[in-house]
């Protein structure tokens, strides 16, 4: 009983989440649709795992397991890609999945150690490529977000990037398990639990974060769409003066949910030129530029109104929530508000 329960736990987790994603498939964005396909593949993969640890696998089922195990990493990378950019063309998806199909077909025709070694090698290469290119793409997307929005909370991919690293670490443990051989773990149900439970937890968290994530690349593209009625100006001293007058002198930075396109529209320019000016002149992203000004304004409010609640200070400074305010305050001062005030008073 325990052997069956432990063996099919990852399968049950993937099946439940697949059904949740599938129920809203038509309403989902392209990233969630790709995650649905990833979960469907995991359902088959871990069903085969369950069969192996309970009743064993036939040669045909072993080939299906090989195909699925070599498809999950390309599919997860395609999910990350769709999360941060427009969808891949069908030809690119086929190219990503083709090596797994080739190895699985070779295993079907030539069931020998050579094809098993090829599977293990390809699996390790996939893990390395997904980690490198996945983190690189997510980091680049977060940089783009910081150049567009005043607050990237809820939009950035830090949680997904951290999860990707944890997912890869778990996968490397799987590589070690593969080196020992599945037969080694099949000897005892507690060994089965030890090798499969990390995947159950990881797949649950991965699915939960993917399902609850609201912001998508489609929304980002919509937000950076330029107003065609605006005449694009070049980067010059006049543009810089207009930006500084609007943002600093007129305190436009106090506007909640400010986007760089809002600034560009007000100075009759385009997002790219405004971004270039801020990056080159202030050596920071749009988000840091705006939030640094907000924190300086908040510091003045705190000193002049020491009894005022932090949430009011945050709202008056342009922040939409306390979390964003605290995060930026610590980022630009190195201290939380109370400790900063104590430090300031000590210096007087």
Q: What is the pLDDT of residues 279-307, one digit of tens each?
A: 999 999 999 999 999 999 999 999 998 88
Distance CA 253, CA 291 (A): 8
pLDDT at 179: 60
Q: What is the pTM of this model?
A: 0.84
Query: Which of the residue ranges 94-98, 119-123, 216-220 would you say has the lowest mean pLDDT?
Result: 216-220
For residues 179 and 124, is the Cβ–Cβ distance under 8 A? Answer: no
Residue 29, SS3 per DSSP: coil
Contacts of 227 (CB under 8 A, 6+ apart): 261, 265
Q: Scanning the structure block, which residue is given the tokens 């971004």? A: 275
100 closest CA partner among 133, 135, 64: 64
Distance CA 199, CA 341 (A): 46
Neighbours of 40 (CB within 10 A): 17
CA 153 to chain centre: 12
State phi, psi for 111 to the nearest 5 degrees: -75, 90
Contacts of 161 (CB under 8 A, 6+ apart): 134, 135, 138, 139, 142
pLDDT at 176: 63
Average pLDDT over residues 104-128: 89
Mean pLDDT of all residues belonging to the chain: 86
Distance CA 44, CA 199 (A): 14
Beta bridge partners of 259: 149
Distance CA 254, CA 181 (A): 60
| pLDDT tens figures, 55-107 | 888 999 999 999 999 999 999 999 999 888 877 677 777 888 999 999 999 99
Distance CA 264, CA 39 (A): 41
Average pLDDT over residues 300-321: 92
- Helix, strand, coil % (nearest 5) of the chain? 75, 0, 20
Determine the Cα angle at 28 with ends 24 and 32, to 5°.
105
pLDDT at 153: 83
State phi, psi for 259 to the nearest 5 degrees: -120, 155
Residue 213, SS3 per DSSP: coil
Q: Is the pLDDT of residue 228 over 70?
A: no
Burial bucket for residue 77 (CB in 10 Å: 0-12, 13-18, 19+): buried
Average pLDDT over residues 163-167: 80
77 closest CA partner among 66, 88, 91: 88
Q: Is the pLDDT of residue 235 over 60?
A: no
């Amino acid at each position: 009983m325990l052997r069956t329960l432990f063996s099919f736990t990852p399968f049950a987790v993937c099946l439940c989440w697949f059904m949740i994603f599938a129920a809203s498939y038509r309403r989902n964005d392209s990233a969630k649709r790709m995650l649905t396909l990833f979960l469907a593949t995991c359902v088959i993969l871990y069903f085969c795992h369950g069969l192996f640890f309970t009743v064993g696998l036939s040669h045909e089922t072993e080939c299906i397991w090989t195909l699925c195990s070599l498809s999950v990493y390309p599919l997860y990378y395609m999910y990350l890609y769709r999360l941060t950019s427009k969808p891949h063309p069908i030809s690119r998806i086929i190219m990503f999945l083709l090596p797994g199909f080739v190895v699985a077909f070779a295993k079907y025709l030539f069931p020998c150690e050579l094809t098993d070694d090829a599977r293990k090698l390809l699996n390790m290469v996939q893990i390395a490529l997904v980690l490198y290119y996945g983190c690189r793409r997510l980091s680049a997307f977060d940089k783009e977000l910081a150049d567009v929005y005043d607050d990237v909370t809820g939009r950035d991919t830090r949680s997904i990037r951290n999860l990707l690293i944890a997912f890869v670490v778990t996968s490397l443990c799987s590589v070690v398990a593969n080196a020992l051989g599945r037969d080694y773990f099949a000897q005892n149900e507690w060994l089965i639990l030890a090798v499969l439970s990390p995947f159950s937890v990881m797949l649950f968290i991965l699915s939960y974060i993917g399902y609850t994530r609201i912001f998508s690349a489609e929304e980002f593209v919509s937000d950076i769409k330029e107003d065609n009625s605006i005449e694009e100006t070049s980067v010059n001293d006049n543009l810089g003066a207009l930006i500084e007058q609007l943002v600093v002198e007129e305190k436009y930075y106090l506007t909640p949910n400010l986007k760089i396109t809002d600034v560009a529209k007000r100075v009759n320019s385009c997002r790219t030129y405004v971004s270039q000016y801020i990056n080159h002149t202030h050596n920071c992203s749009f988000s840091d530029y705006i939030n640094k000004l907000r924190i300086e304004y908040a510091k003045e409010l705190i000193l002049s109104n020491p009894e005022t609640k932090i949430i009011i200070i945050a709202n008056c400074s342009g922040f939409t929530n306390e979390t964003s305010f605290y995060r930026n305050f610590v980022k630009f001062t190195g201290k939380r508000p109370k400790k900063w005030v104590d430090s300031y008073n000590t210096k007087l």
